[in-house]
Each structure stands twice: as structure tokens, then as C-alpha cells.
Amino acid sequence: MTGTSNIIELLTRNLRQSGIYIAFVLIVLLFTVLTGGTLLSPGNITNLVLQYSYILILAIGMVMIIVAGHIDLSVGSVVALTGGVAAVVVIREGMPWWVGVIAALITGVLVGIWQGFWVAIVGIPAFIVTLAGMLIFRGLAMQVLDNVSLSPFPEEYRQIAGGFSNGLLGGPGYDLFTLVIFALASVGFAVQQWRARMRKLEYKQTVEALWLFAVKVVLVVAVIMAFGWQLANSRGMPYVLVLLAALVLIYGFVTQRTVFGRHIYAMGGNLEAAKLSGVKTRRVNFMLFVNMGVLAAIAGIVYSARSNSAQPAAGNMFELDAIAAAFIGGAAVTGGVGKVQGAIIGGLIMAVMSNGMQIMGIDQSTQNVVRGVVLVLAVAYDVWSKKKASVSS
């Protein structure tokens, strides 16, 4: 059995991926100390989930776009447009809440088709198409809403982003159902890690020593259960967290285990080689932007439900937060590298920093400076690690 007990090698085997998790833990610990523990309080953790869920949803689609070698500058405007469409249907026209959700999703699909056509079929660079889209869809959002905010949404719609499953199994002072869900997630993680280890051994690949593997799994499970415990002691399991977890699992599978996912990485790694290998690049690019439109619509629904209103200025700068999450999470500027899980961690790093600085009373201008510096450092780290890898090879 092949293995190693060197913990340094375990951490540095894939420095680009392990580094982001280490950075996340350090940032959480730093702001926990700076905020006197408020950051990890049950109420604040729940607010973190509710407050930044739409950015994480956008980050899932954005990392796929970046891996393929593109960029999407229009998602913030699409959030405003889709939220506005939902508001007009539900609030102004008085239709059921679910009709507004469907209308928003259809709008997202149409946006994706529009941008996918110009990028994939016509061949205009995505930067230009989505820059135009940022202006077009912001203008359409203003027209749809007649330049005024619409509110309030009915309770059922608000539950999308503000609802909780609490009390289903009872619990003395905490929500037992939330703990059960997180316990099942912990078991699933442990099983997945064990299967991955067995596959590596089957193919004679190097794995960490068994005791190191056990320590890694136990630490991650401890973090998962601690997170679940805090939610259980607040308001229970947020519905939007269930939605986000489902999206992470689905898109993690799509990007890592399907032909479509492999084609995305092939295009980002070497476009000409992908074409010569038979990858239908036009179809992949088209579907990428349709998918981004759908995810932007979901984010628009969640954001409008969270704010209980639709606003012409909604989603401002969201595209930059999503792009930053993808790059901080390990996506390469040149494409071909990046994971959904990494983008989620990158988004959480941005969320923890923003939330921590808000708790500390730091003004918005300083927050923007700090977030910008972190983004530059993340990309610089990507460039440095690539140079190091090329030199060692």
C-alpha cells in the first residue's frame, strides 16, 4: 500500500487548492478574534448564509465561464432584471408567487440565449458581449420597473430566501432536524473521501498515511457539525442553504464527472486542441451562457425575496463579487483551472471579510480597498504557483 506520513507533503501536494482552505480557516479565526466572537455567533452565521447566498450562486456559474476562458460582466444587471420581472408578475399583476419564479427563470434563459448566440455563433468575445449586456439588461430592468421599486412580495415568495425548517423533529432548545441533516452530510463526506482514497490506491497513486487521512476527515466533520450546531441554535436550517447545497452538488458533479464538464476544461486549457479533439465548442459556449443566465435568475429571485422588493439598482457590482470569488477560489486567469467548491470557498472568504469588517464598524471605502488587495494577492499567488510549477518540471 502506497502512502506517506509527511504532513508537509500532504499540505503542499496541491498547494493551489489546499492553500485556499488554509487561508479561509485563518481568515475566520482572525475575524473571530477581532469581533470578539460575534462572527461565529449563531445569529450572525445565519445572517451570513442569508446575506451572501446569491453571490455564491453567481460564483458557481462564473467559475464555469472563467474555466472555459471567458468572463461575464452582465450578471448583476440580470439579477436586477429577473427580480424586476418577478415583481411585476407577482406584485403589479397579482399573480401567484410561483408564476413570478417561472417568469424570472424564463427571462434568465432568454438572456443566456441572447448572449450565447453572440459569443458562440457570431464569435464576438464574451467580454464585449457581456459588457453590452450589462448596459442592456440594466436598462431593461429600469424599464420593466418604470424606474421605481416594487414591494412587498407575498409571504410565500419571501420564504425562498428567508424561510427556515425549524421544529420538524423538535429539540430541547435547538433544532434537531438541522443537526440530523448536517450529520448525514458529514457521513456523506466521510464516505466520499474514503472512496476517493480507495480509487487512488487501486490505481497505485500516492495517498496520505491512514492516520493523517483520519485526522483530515475528523477535522472537516467537526467544522461541518459546529456550523450545523450554530444554525440549530439560531433559527434552524435556512431554505436557501438547502438550495445552495443542491446547486453545489449538482454542478460539482457536472464539472467533474460529465463529458460536458470535461469539455469546459479542455476548451479553457487549449481551445485549438479541444477543437481538433472533436469538442463542439460552439455548443459548449452556448450552453455555458444559457446556464449562467439561469443561475443569475435564481440569484435574482433569492435577492428580491431577501430584500422583499425589486429595485432598478439591484445587483450593482455583483458581477465583480462573483468574479472575485472564482479567482480567490483558485480559478486561473488564463482558463482551464478552477472548481465549484473553490469558488464557494472564495465567496465565503469575501463574505467573512465583509461581514467581519461591518461588525467592526469599518467604513465601506476601506472594505473595498481590503477586498481589492485580497483579489490582487489571490491572482498573484496563482501566477507565482504556475511559475514555480513550470520551474520544478
Q: Which residues of 86-102 are buried (b: 16+ CB within 10 A; e: fewer)?
A: bbbbbbeeeeebeebbe
Q: What is the pLDDT of residue 43?
A: 86
- Considering only residues 379 and 134, tell me which one the structure prediction assigns the higher pLDDT: 134
* Total tally of structural domains belonging to the chain: 2
Output the CA angle 104-241-57, nearest 5 degrees. Answer: 50
User: Of 219, 234, 249, at which residue does a domain stop?
Assistant: 234
Report if residue 392 sits inside a domain: no
For residues 294 and 305, the answer to whether their CB atoms sit within 8 Å is no
151-205 pLDDT, tens per residue? 899 999 999 998 888 776 766 667 888 888 899 999 998 998 899 889 888 888 8
The pairing of strands 237-238 and 164-165 is antiparallel
Predicted TM-score (pTM) of this structure? 0.89
Decide which of 235 and 129 is more confident: 129
The answer on pLDDT for 233 being more than 60 is: yes
Q: Pick from 197, 215, 234: which residue ends a domain?
A: 234
* Residues 210, 285 within the same domain: no
Q: How confident is the model at residue 1, as a pLDDT?
A: 42
Task: Estimate to the nearest angstrom the gap between the alpha carbon of 71 and the chain centroid.
Answer: 15
- 189 & 243 share domain: no
* 28 vs 5 pLDDT, higher one: 28
Is 39 a domain residue?
yes
Instruction: Give the pLDDT confidence score for residue 235 in this predicted structure.
Output: 80
Clarify whether residues 18 and 160 are in a common domain: yes
Pair 290, 382 in one domain: yes
Q: Count CB neighbours of 356 within 10 A.
A: 24
Q: Say yes or no: 107 and 247 in one domain.
A: yes
pLDDT for 40: 86
Which CATH number covers residue 37? 1.10.3470
Out of 182, 215, 234, pick the residue that ends a domain. 234
Question: Mean pLDDT score of the chain, rounded to an integer?
Answer: 88
- 2 found inside a domain: no
Q: Do 240 and 108 share a structural domain?
A: yes
**Residue 270 and residue 229 share a domain:** no
Residue 3 vs residue 191, higher pLDDT: 191
Task: Please give the residue range of the domain that contains residue 197.
Answer: 171-234
